[in-house]
Structure 1
Amino acid sequence: MDFPDPHKPGKGELLVEVKATGVCGTDLHILEDTFHNFPPVVLGHEFAGVVLEVGEGVTMFKPGDRVTTEAPARLCNKCMYCRTGNYNHCSNRSGMGWGENGTFAKYTIIEESMAHMVPDGISFKAGALMEPMACVAHAIEITGIKADDTVAISGPGPNGLLMTQLAKAEGATVIVTGTNMDAERLDMAKKLGADYTINVQEEDAVAKIRELTGGYGADVVFECAGAQSSIDACFDYVRRMGKYTQMAMFGGRKMAIDMDKMVVKEIRMIGVQSQRWTSWDKTVKLLAVGKVQLEPLATHEFGLSEWEKAFETFEKKEGIKVVMYPED
Structure 2
Amino acid sequence: MKAVVKTEKGPGHVSYIDFPDPQKPGAGELLVEVKAACVCGTDLHIREDKFRNRPPVVLGHEFSGVVLEIGEGVTMFKPGDRVTAEAPARLCNKCMYCRTGNYNHCSNRSGMGWGENGAFAKYVIIEEQMSHKVPDNISFKAGALMEAAACVAHAIEITGIKADDTVVISGPGPNGLLMTQFAKAEGATVIVTGTNADAKRLEMAKQLGADYVINVQEEDAVQKIRDLTGGYGADIVFECAGAQSSIDACFEYVRRMGKYTQMAMFGERKMSIDMDKLVVKEIHMVGSQSQRWTSWDKLIKLLSAGKLQLESLATHEFKMSEWEKAFDCFEKKEGLKVVLYPED
TM-score by length of 1: 0.99
1:128 aligns with 2:134: no
Candidates 208, 211, 214, aligned match of 1:192: 208
Answer yes or no: is 1:33 the counterpart of 2:49: yes
State the 1:152 CA deviation: 0.1
> Which position in structure 2 is the counterpart of 1:42?
58
Aligned residues with identical type, % of pairs: 85
- Per the TM alignment, residue 223 of structure 1 is displaced from its structure 2 partner at its CA by 0.2
Deviations 1:127-173 (A, max 9, x none): 00000000000000000000000000000000000000000000000
Residue matched to 1:228: 244
Match of 2:90 in 1: 74
- Pick aligned residue for 2:331 from 285, 291, 315: 315
| Counterpart residue number, 1:295 | 311
| Secondary structure, counterpart of 1:324 in structure 2 | strand
What is the identity, as a one-letter code, of the residue corresponding to 1:32? E
Counterpart amino acid of residue 187 in structure 2: G
Aligned with 2:320 (options 301, 304, 321): 304
Q: What SS class does the counterpart of residue 96 from structure 1 fall into?
A: coil
Distance 1:250 1:45 in 2: 19
CA deviations over 1:242-284 (Å, ceiling 9, x no partner): 0000000001211000000000000000001100000000011
* Cα RMSD, aligned residues only: 0.6
State the Cα distance separating 1:113 from its structure 2 match. Answer: 0.2
Q: What SS class does the counterpart of residue 138 from structure 1 fall into?
A: helix
> Which amino acid is the alignment partner of residue 294 of structure 1?
L
SS of residue matched to 2:58? coil
SS at match of 2:318: strand
- Superposition TM-score, scaled by structure 2 size: 0.95
What is the CA–CA distance in structure 2 between the aligned matches of 1:28 and 1:211, rounded to whole Å?
40
Task: Report the Cα offset of residue 35 of structure 1.
Answer: 1.2
Deviation at 1:97, TM superposition (A): 0.3
Matched, 1:100 2:100: no
Task: Quote how far apart the aligned CAs of 1:85 are.
Answer: 0.2
Aligned to 1:17: 33
Shift of 1:115: 0.4
Letter in 1 for 2:20: P
Return the alpha-carbon distance in structure 1 between the equivalents of residues 175 and 343 of structure 2. 28
* Alignment-derived partner of residue 67 in structure 2: 51
Secondary structure of the equivalent of 2:57? coil
**Which residue of 258, 279, 286 maps to 2:274?**
258
Aligned: 1:179 with 2:195: yes
User: Which of 143, 146, 167 matches 2:183?
Assistant: 167
- Name the counterpart of 1:141: 157
> Helix, strand or coil for the counterpart of 1:100?
coil
* Runs of 4+ off more than 6 Å: none
Distance 2:260 2:160 in 1: 11
Alignment-mate amino acid for residue 84 of structure 1: T
Kindly state the Cα deviation for residue 2 of structure 1 after the two structures are TM-superposed: 2.4
Total equivalences in the alignment = 328
Structure 1: 5+ residue stretches without partners: none
Alpha-carbon offset, residue 39 of structure 1? 1.4
Which residue among 288, 294, 309 is the counterpart of 1:272?
Answer: 288
